[in-house]
Structure 1
Amino acid sequence: MTFTDRQKEPVSLNIIRAQYLASAVNSSQYPEMENAAVQIAFVGRSNVGKSSLLNSLARQHGLARISSTPGKTQTLNFYQLTAKISEDIRRSFLLVDLPGYGYARTGRTLRRQWAKFIEEYLLQTSHIKLICQLIDSRHSPMESDIATYRWLIENGLPVQVVATKVDKISKMLISKQIKKIKQELGMDRDSVIPYSSAKGIGRDQLLDVIAKLLLNYER
């Protein structure tokens, strides 16, 4: 299933705390979930801008390390955020940065190992409430993007597609690229959020999705 937002009014959410928790290559290394049962995972091709987006959401430069070398992230990286939704509502949740897929220079054996433990995490972790799939807005979705999206949908996982790096293209081209992404992924009514980590475009929209998710989640 895809993530469909049925609420019309925006919800105010402010991130008041963000910290790195842990890195993992197997389930025994996952952090304890007592104080943050909701997890939001971020997937995408190598160098699509996952770390930049995480830093942008938290407004904490350096929270997630940014590398100029594609395929650098080789672990699941967990970050705990605390959000203020109203004067009397606080919610803690985890953002999880997954290794990028589709990096050709990564050895085939290593790619298979990554795929195995990523699939294990996505399919066996009940705390996952949303998966944000990041796609570079400057290009058409690649085969790995399409295959990943279809795999997520086929496995009944909630997906929010985010088109990154929209500051790199013209405003006129953004709408065209969003339409192309939706068509090639086979999306119907569900939205694609255009995002720029550099300029903050789309941040409020994605935080609104997260806020409603946190409010709807019953502990």
Structure 2
Amino acid sequence: MSIRLLLADDQALVRGALAALLDLERDMQVVAEVGRGDEVVEAARTHEAQVCLLDIEMPGRSGIEAAREVSEQLPGVRSIIVTTFGRPGYLRAAIDAGATGFVVKDTPARELAEAVRRVHQGLRVVDPTLATASLLGGPNPLTERERDVLRAALSGAPVATISTQVHLSPGTVRNYLSSAIRKTDTATRVEAARTAQENGWL
């Protein structure tokens, strides 16, 4: 019996390349492809996928959010994050969301296929370099509210605009920003937001 795969990536070329590679494996079959994170659960359910390979940055819902939905709604289905963004914070967030695999897109085809087999067997597969970086980097130091405020700050928007977006008073926004700047050891809110993004904390 072939392992039934769902591929989720908003870039059709990447999806097509992954599908072509994995379909070469005798024990694998790509049964569904989607370009949006909010289409993953329905497609996985409809096509009876057993393993979902998810990109992180997709419209509708991120791969990490999609992995959480798969874990909650389809408990027998496994998820692997396959991403360009090898950031330690993303790895921790993916594992917390219920993903059982995390590999980067330049992983050789043979290793990716082996990762799919291991995850299908109920094992966890994590890129070793990222695992080390994640352990050394420690947990995400930012609170959920600090992350909300920093996401809004990424564009360089003024405090008044940020406060409107996150539904908080300007004074509260300033407090969260100063706390986040301290925790990220940066000098400005934009620097703090970029540092948090680079670490996969947002």
| TM-score, normalised by the number of residues in structure 1 | 0.41
Query: Over alpha carbons, which structure has the higher Rg?
Result: 2
TM-score (norm 2): 0.44
Greater share of helix: 2
Q: Does 1 or 2 have the higher relative contact order (CA < 8 Å, sep 6+)?
A: 1
User: Which protein has the bigger strand share?
Assistant: 1
